Amino acid sequence: MEIAESTVADVLVLEPVGAIDSTTANLFATKVTDIAKARDRNFIIDLDKIKYVSSAGVRALIMVAQAAERMQRKMVLCGLNSEVDRLFAISKMSELFVICASREEAAGLAK
């Protein structure tokens, strides 16, 4: 899985591409957690280029959020497409994560 890195307002932005499903979920969780540890800062996961998140993908996001908490880092999600947003709303996952509409808004909350 490809994950682009950038920064917004001194906050790390991680932007995965593709889908977070049973094939990619473990790799996604491992890569994001490793990057967050190495960069030693709060981070945003921008899901704008994610077309699909399966239940395994949701589990991977929860694992990353737990890892962020253990590292005492803030994690904020942004860029959810309508399908992913709907999935999060139906499954009440939107209550577990801080979710913003834009990177800029997410950066403000991740500081």
Instruction: Write out pLDDT tens, residues 68-107.
Output: 999 999 999 999 999 888 888 888 888 889 999 999 999 9
Contact 52, 85 (CB under 8 A): no
Q: Domain count for the chain, please give it.
A: 1
- Global pTM? 0.94
Range of 98's domain?
3-110
For 5-52, the DSSP string reads EEEETTEEEEEE-EEESTTTHHHHHHHHHHHHHHHTS-EEEE-TTEEE
CATH number of the domain residue 82 falls in: 3.30.750.24
Instruction: Write out pLDDT tens, residues 19-32.
Output: 999 999 999 999 99
